[in-house]
Amino acid sequence: MPKNKTKGSKAERELFKMFLDENFRAVRVAGSGVMEKADCDLLVGKIGKKYAVEVKSTSSIFKYISKEQIENFLIFSEIFGLTPVIALRFNREGWFFISPKELKDSGKNFVIELSDLKKNGKRFSQFFN
């Protein structure tokens, strides 16, 4: 498995465990990051709360996500009545959570910068409680 796929899978498993530890029910989506039509990484819920989660991990201070991927993610979330969430883990900074509408347009991609996340992103307990 390529290094970035391994890193992404590790991040998904880490976040999956965080949700379980907080008494959510969670499912990792088979083929996410590999198959063309896997439009999110995790499905997560508690009574009254349902989320589609796109998981991203990076060692850079920027994370670029294609507009097509976000568009598919939003359509998927809407079809299933889920709240879309982008979960980002920057090396040595921990997890941040944002709504996709908080991504910035950089042309053919969306981008999120670590400095913006530190100001506007939410931590797990802030976003999900």
DSSP calls for 3-31: HHHHHHHHHHHHHHHHHHHTT-EEEEPTT
**Secondary structure class of 120 (helix, strand, coil):** helix
Residue 81, pLDDT score: 97
Question: In 3-state terms, what secondary structure has residue 75?
Answer: helix
The candidate with the shortest Cα–Cα distance to 96, out of 113, 62, 121, is: 121
Instruction: For the full predicted model, state whether its pTM sits above 0.85.
Output: yes
Going from the N-terminus, what domains does the chain have, and what CATH number goes with each? 3-128 (3.40.1350.10)
pLDDT score of 6 = 74
Percent helix, strand and coil across the chain, each rounded to 5? 35, 35, 30
Query: CA-to-CA distance for 14 and 27, rounded, in angstroms?
Result: 13
For the purposes of burial, counting CB atoms within 10 Å of the CB of 94, is it exposed (0-12), middle (13-18) or buried (19 or more)?
exposed
Q: What is the pLDDT of residue 30?
A: 77
The closest alpha carbon to 53, from 79, 31, 28, 89, belongs to 28
Residue by residue, pLDDT tens for the chain (129 residues) are 455 567 778 999 999 999 999 999 999 997 665 555 679 999 999 999 999 999 999 999 999 999 999 999 999 999 999 999 999 999 999 999 999 999 999 999 999 999 999 999 999 999 998
Active site residue ranges: 32
CB 84 within 8 A of CB 108: no
